[in-house]
Chain A
Amino acid sequence: MDVCLAFGFEHMSHVETWKGNEFIALASDVSFDYPVGGFYSGYYAMMVTRHMAEFGTTVEQLAHVSVKNHINAYHNPYAQKRLRLTVEDVRSSPMVAWPLTRHDICVMSDGAAAVIFCSEDGLAKLEKAAGRRLPRVRVTGIGRGTDAMRMADRPHQSYEDFYKYNALPNEMNDDAREYYKGLWDKGFRYPGVHSFRAGRMASREAYKNAGIADPLKEIDFVELHDAYTSSEVQTYEDMGLCRYGEGGPFAASGKTFMPGLDYGLKLPEKPACAVNPSGGLIACGHPVGATGLMQAVFSLWQLQGTIKKHFGDPALQVPNARRGAIHSHAGTGTYVTVSIVEQEK
């Protein structure tokens, strides 16, 4: 197979949000979670309270993700919610599942996305037929990870097993080992419900395939699964952009923000790796069957340098974007894929 069209779509507006919540919850555990009153926002909110108790993460830190992604989306005409929010706006919006408010959570969406994958021969055929050549983007690494479907069943494994199975190359040093030993001494267990082992294993495999040793320094932007502000913070840690437990301060540090945009926030650090420059799921929308491909489309445009052309606004073009990561997440972190995409040299 030399040319493959991948497309996805979803119509979620055909039912009220509450019925949609029900359908989505039925995609997870139906015997022991859903009948208790489970719905996804409730599941993720429980992850948040554990993250807060375990690491001292604050709701204001989570709200920084919402402010960032909604303001990014302000420059993206494909986004569903283009809002200029403040941390206060996020916290004062209606509570959905404590401590997550409406602005911490994505909405129901209709949407579609498509990309074309080609072998080198297939691309040559397409370029010949089109009579032109667009900037080429190569998929240099793919990883996937899984975990128990019910988050209650996820293990609480030891420090030794974490280092044996789950640690990333940038955690293989004395400083990181000492940090993690300190966490385990305080009662931290991995992955528990605060972390996504599937996201970590997907990242680990993708980085290995793409030859990435230090993701924060070697990846220019990430489009990741922020159905909740908290899942973006959890994913920073899973993808090794910061260490487990540091996601909250990292979210408010400024490192994941776009350069040159005014977020109305005092950010102590300069942008290092833009996360969800498109606005992510929380602002662009999360039409489930299309979401992963939507991330791929935005990543492709970043690497082709065509954000201005497609958005009619250059504000979201990541400067010198050479390498990006796409993180797609299913269930309550039951199945995660990470793909590394790069400009062809």
Chain B
Amino acid sequence: MSKKEFPKRIEDNLEGTIVFSVPFPTGDDLSVLKQMSPIVSRQPYSIDYNYSYGQDSPFFAALANGRFIVCREPKSGYTYANPRGHDMYSGRETEWVEIKPEGKIHAFTVCHFGSEAFLPECPYVLILVEFEACDTLFLGRLVGADPEAASIDWIGKKVKGRFLRNAKLKPTDIYFNLAE
């Protein structure tokens, strides 16, 4: 053992969870502790995470350049509006194809609540867009429509994609306006 002296006491500080006057029986009878409600403490929690877009990366690079690319299986022509490296029917590799981000609303909702990250943006409109050149749909935000005027008549309306000027490398680098 080293002869060096180390402090034996942990100094109190004012960081993290601090509690005062936690109730506890003063006598010897500890049986009441079985009736004690659970202690609940609120703690902040965050992590940094390196998330890779992998083979989907060209899609985000295209958005950052104001272009919209989709994935097509060359033999059948089946086209995915979201990036997909291989066709779900044949397993064959797909190729990137550029299309105009113009289509119509297939389905929609107005989110009056949401995940915590999006609460400040409520109410916002989500739409599934049908592109003529694609066999699958694309989820995007509809901007410029009155969320309080939601109506089933919105389905079928034409929409046109717009790109953020300063890309954030998110699928929201493209959003949609009503074309009519």
Contact = CB atoms under 8 A, between A and B. Distances in A.
Interface of A: 14, 16, 18-19, 21-22, 25, 30-39, 41-42, 45-50, 52-53, 94-100, 148, 150-156, 193
Contacts of B156: 53
Dominant secondary structure of chain B at its interface with chain A: mixed
Contacts of B111: 37, 39, 41-42, 45, 96-97
Question: Which of A21, A52, A98, A153 lies at the interface centre, i.e. has the most chain B CB atoms within 10 A of its CB?
Answer: A98
B114 A152 contact: no
A96 B112 contact: yes
17 contacts: A18-B115, A25-B115, A30-B51, A31-B171, A35-B171, A38-B115, A45-B111, A46-B108, A46-B128, A47-B107, A53-B152, A150-B139, A152-B128, A152-B138, A153-B80, A153-B84, A193-B128
A52 B152 contact: yes
Interface residues of B, number: 45
Contact of B152 (A18, A47, A49, A148): A49
B117 A22 contact: yes
A235 to B, nearest CB: 18
B139 A152 contact: yes
Contacts of A50: 106-107, 128, 155
A31 B137 CA distance: 15
A18 B114 contact: yes
B40 to A, nearest CB: 8
B107 A16 contact: no
B116 A19 contact: yes
A37 B110 CA distance: 11
Interface of B: 40, 51, 53, 56, 80-84, 88, 106-119, 121, 124, 126-128, 135-141, 147, 150, 152, 154-156, 170-172
A96 B135 contact: no
A22 B115 contact: yes
Contacts, number: 128
Contacts of B107: 46-47, 49-50, 53, 193
Top 10 A-B pairs ranked by shortest CB distance?
A45-B109, A22-B115, A50-B107, A152-B137, A98-B110, A18-B116, A46-B107, A53-B155, A98-B150, A21-B115
Given A150-B82, A152-B128, A153-B136, A39 B106 contact: no
Given A37-B111, A49-B154, 20 more contacts: A18-B113, A31-B56, A36-B141, A39-B111, A39-B113, A42-B114, A46-B107, A46-B109, A46-B126, A49-B152, A50-B128, A53-B155, A97-B113, A98-B147, A151-B137, A152-B136, A152-B139, A154-B136, A193-B106, A193-B137
B82 A34 contact: no
Given A96-B112, A97-B113, A152-B139, A36 B150 contact: no
A36 B116 contact: no
B129 to A, nearest CB: 9
Given A46-B126, A152-B137, A152-B138, A97 B116 contact: no
B75 to A, nearest CB: 17
Contacts of B154: 49
Contacts of B141: 36-37
B132 to A, nearest CB: 13
Given A35-B172, A36-B141, A95 B112 contact: yes
A263 B31 CA distance: 46
B128 A37 contact: no
Contacts of B118: 37, 39
A50 B150 CA distance: 13
Contacts of B81: 152
Contact of B114 (A37, A98, A148): A37
Contacts of A19: 115-116
A156 B56 CA distance: 24
B80 A97 contact: no
Given A35-B171, A193-B128, A18 B139 contact: no
A151 B81 CA distance: 12
Contact of A21 (B108, B116, B136): B116
B49 to A, nearest CB: 10
Contact of B109 (A32, A49, A150, A153): A49
Contacts of A48: 109
B123 to A, nearest CB: 8
